[in-house]
Structure 1
Amino acid sequence: MFYISILLQLLLSAAVASWLVSYYPRSICAFERSSVDFSCMFDYSDYRILKTTYWFKPEAHQKQDGSQVGISAYNSEAAKIHQLYKNRTAYANRDKNCSLQLHNVSKSDTGMYFFRFETYSSRGKYTGPGGINLSVAVLPFRVTVKTKKVNEHIHEGDSVTLTCSTENCTPTQEPFAWFKNQRLIPEATDSVLQITSVSHDDFGNYSCGLKNSSTTSADEILLDVRYSPKNVKIAVLSSGKIQEGNSLTLICKSNANPAVTNYSWFMIKEANVSYIGSDREFSIKSASQKDGGQYFCIAKNDMGSQNSTVTPLKVEDGLLNLTRRKLNVICLHLYRRKLFTSKKQPAEQTPAVTVTEEIYENLRKSPESEENLTTYVTYVDLRLPSSTSDRPHCNSQDVIYSLLSYKD
């Protein structure tokens, strides 16, 4: 009798062991309106005859461990399929393959799913334990930023983690795409973007999405990296060459976060460094020779400071430039006069006239105005390009003594 009892227990254990359901994967995250696959295999005693197969989801008020049968997502008896799942499922319908496809997933599909089969025996029913947990990701994507610091600003050198996620869960079966200022970051294809040591170049707006989809996060997020002033330089605002009497403005430019709060201006002249201003712009209303020298500025914020490169500033003599302009007018007048003379007397041979002689001729003072004029002598090295035309030629080594007369 004892041996018979042991034999019955072994037979019962073997029978129970043959009843099984295996699921893969045990957890799924899917986007709304996508399709999911519940992979499943099952087994039962060979002497049993299969009657019904179905997938069910426990209702909200029921236990979620499969011990209570909920609504049917699929049933081999089609009339028993719940209205929410009508025409949305496809069963494998192969021997001991219980895989199920669920189409057009919605947020209401979130929950646990179990496979159950029944035979014609009153005790031949079995539900696969564990089940599959379905989570539905609700778009749009969103970017979150995490650092080791709590409630503090991000500084250069900090480690930063950017995570691309959606509500409820984030599918990871497809490659991701990251964007900075709406430009793709080619090397970033995971849902997490790790920056081990941020720099000022990482400052910008970030968004994410799936690589093979145009769907991106609804809102960009600013990675607000704080850094000291960079690329400090001086911009000179002036109309043409800087000449005596003209106005000019020097601007101290830089990149910084937060914005520069303090500027300092310095001038270097004859090895002496002088502090000259504290605004972003340094203006000179009327330039003079004493303003010539080397200039640099210092930009400073809460993170630090940086000097600009030295910018040389040369102020040209106004009288010299005036003399040059007058000589240009004289040469142009002589050239036009010579052309006019040559056209008027084409056949007449005239002796060659040197440029110096012609200038003296045109600058000769008239007797009636001589007493009202003050004469200045200016020595100018007049350089003109060579030419094969009839234009008077001025040798670059000739020194022309011109009499420039001004009324008192």
Structure 2
Amino acid sequence: MSPSAGGLVVFLLSVQVIQSQDGWRVNYHQTDICAAKGSTVEIYTQRSGIRPSDIMERFWFTKEKDGEPVDLRTDSEYSGRVRYTCSGMRCYLHVTDVRESGSAEYKLTFMTNVPGEKYTGSPGVTLSVTGFQVQVRRSDSTWLELTCHSSCVLSDHPGYAWYKNGENIKNGSSLSVSSGSTDRYSCNLRGYSGQRSPAVYGPQRPSVSVSPSAEMLEGDSVTLTCSADANPAANYTWYKQDRTSDRRLLSEEPQLVFSSIQSSDSGRYFCTAENQLGRKTSEFILIRVKYGPQRPSVSVCPSAEMLEGDSVTLTCSADANPAASYTWYKEHEDSPRASGQIFTITDFTAEHSGNYYCEAQNEMGRSNSTLLLITESGVDRTTMIIHITRWPLLVVMMILLLLFCLWTRKKKAVSSTTEPHESREAVEMDLHPEYENLSDMAAQREDPEEQV
């Protein structure tokens, strides 16, 4: 086997002797041959005991149909890639661009001029066609060792050539690269223009697909799939990102399956792809599961016991996707009192007392809150104000009554020095509405003539 412009050429010379009863012989050299994928193989045999005049037809084959050999030239898998030549006692088979599917046992058969008489040199030559693979082994925490591998041992091995992103960088049996490298490495036989090994490289950024891609409803079966271009093939891990910076490991498979997805499964997910050469993380995917409203909760401000004239605000909230709309009802009433998340009652009166509830509704369903009792206090604010203002008025009246009693006693003390008609006049004057306070009454008593 030697390099050439068109690839490697493998020459097979027969030495093993296969002899028939008539003395016909075909000499095969090697029974097992290894050739590089894409190379050219040339097989030839040495026959004896067979006169050229006895041969009507000769061809090579690997398959039989209905017990008869199939000429390689008529096999579609070899179309345009095989050629036969014979010179003297030697016959040649040329196969170009050999493929891994061409690994088979090749035999030469002769058709003679005697009807029904033929001869096949058997067993034939077994050809194994190999490609090249880069094997990755971690040598330490920062370095990897790459080796070029073939499935069979090549004859006259010329050594290997190494390529980085398509450019030849080194010849040798192995190559050391740093862990986490984003470059692509491949190998081939040195001096060989045929097909190189598949390149090895770390994962590209993974992509995530969701099935079904339509909206998700509670109870549906949902599958998330992580995929990344990588060689060797990547291993996958699924995580769910919590509201904090923590992440929760869910699966170490390419697919994350929810057989019956729930509202609690809503959230942000991501996956990682990793092989020996590196690791990459996908973007977040947001999962929103549609579900009907959970039982609403109601808050009251300022409280559930109101005074007449107060203002009270009720707020309804329910977990739902999509967001719920809200309607307010009073118990035993068919017509709603209000719509919207917030319900405000201004100027509260006794008629507003009773049980209230809200209804949350979206396209997935509806749910009612528990009853909320709002009552009126036994004493309203106006009554309380009157009670507060009556106390100082009573005190004033008591003081006035006390002063009046004192004045009456003083009047009786001086009544003995006055005429009866004067005393009556004084009393009448005291009760006249024009006297606004006791000080005016006292001044009048001291100077009665001036008053007249």
* Short-chain TM bin: 0.5 to 0.7
Correspondences of 1:52-131 after superposition (within 5 Å): 52-56=158-162, 72=168, 74-76=170-172, 91=173, 101-103=176-178, 109=184, 113-116=186-189, 131=197
What is the aligned partner in structure 2 of residue 333 from structure 1? Answer: none
Q: Which has the higher contact order (CA 8 A, sep 6+)?
A: 1
The question of whether the paired residues in 2 share the 8 Å contact of 1:234 and 1:308 is answered with: yes
| 1:270-289 equivalences in 2 (<5 Å) | 275-289=336-350
Q: Aligned pair in 2 of structure 1 residues 215, 117: CA closer, same or farther (>3 Å)?
A: closer
Hey, what does 1:81 align to over in structure 2?
Answer: none
1:330-374 CA deviation, whole Å, 9 max, x = no partner?
9xxxxxxxxxxxxxxxxxxxxxxxxxxxxxxx989716369xxxx
The amino acid across from 2:373 in the alignment is P
Pick aligned residue for 2:257 from 194, 201, 205: 194
CA RMSD of aligned residues (A): 4.9
The code of the aligned residue for 1:243 comes to L
Q: What whole-Å deviation, never above 9, does each CA across 1:162-211 have from its counterpart, x for those lacking one?
A: 23344667953475544244542233333432222222222223233369
Counterpart Cα distance in 2 of 1:103 and 1:13: 43
Q: Which structure 2 residues correspond to residues 266-345 of structure 1 after superposition, within 5 A?
A: 266-268=329-331, 275-319=336-380
Q: Aligned partner of 1:366: which letter?
A: M
Q: Which runs of no fewer than 5 residues in structure 1 stay unpaired?
A: 61-70, 77-90, 93-99, 119-124, 331-361, 371-408
State the 1:267 CA deviation: 0.9
Match of 1:157 in 2: 219
- Equivalent position of 2:437 in the other structure: none
Residues in 1 aligned to 2:307 and 2:242: alpha-carbon distance in whole angstroms? 46
Matched, 1:249 2:267: no
Structure 1 Cα separation of the partners of residues 311 and 399 of structure 2: 42
Task: Provide the C-alpha distance between the structure 1 equivalents of 2:216 and 2:269, rounded to a whole number of angstroms.
Answer: 15
Pairing of 1:210-221 with structure 2 (within 5 A)? 216-217=281-282, 219-221=283-285
SS of 1:257's equivalent in the other structure is coil
Query: Aligned partner of 1:40: which letter?
Result: H
**CA distance 1:274–1:114, shift in 2 (3 Å):** same
* Cα 1:58/1:164, change in 2 over 3 Å: closer
Distance 1:36 1:153, change over 3 A: farther
Q: Does the CA-based 8 Å contact 2:148-2:187 persist in structure 1?
A: no
- Measured against aligned partners, the alpha-carbon deviations of 1:64-88 in whole angstroms (never above 9, x if no partner) come to xxxxxxx645423xxxxxxxxxxxx
Aligned to 1:234: 298
Work out whether 1:265 is the aligned partner of 2:328. yes
**1:249 CA drift (Å):** 0.7
| 2:225/2:254 contact within 8 Å kept | yes
Q: Tell which structure's C-alpha radius of gyration is larger.
A: 2
Q: For 1:318, what is the secondary structure of its paired residue?
A: coil
Q: Is there any run of 5+ residues in structure 2 with no aligned partner, and where? A: 1-16, 35-125, 403-452
1:253 offset after TM fit, Å? 0.8
Q: Helix, strand or coil: the match of 1:366? A: helix
Give the partner amino acid of 1:253.
S
> Does the C-alpha gap of structure 1 residues 294 and 214 become closer, same or farther in structure 2, counting only changes over 3 Å?
farther
Aligned-partner Cα distance in 2 for 1:109–1:211: 15
Identity %: 20
Match of 1:368 among 397, 400, 414: 400
Letter of the 1:314 counterpart: T
Measure how far apart 1:255 and its partner are.
Answer: 1.8
What is the TM-score when the length of structure 2 is the normalising length? Answer: 0.48
**C-alpha distance in 1 between matches for 2:229 and 2:18:** 61
Work out the CA distance in 2 between the residues paired with 1:251 and 1:310: 13
Give the counterpart letter for 1:230 in structure 2: Q
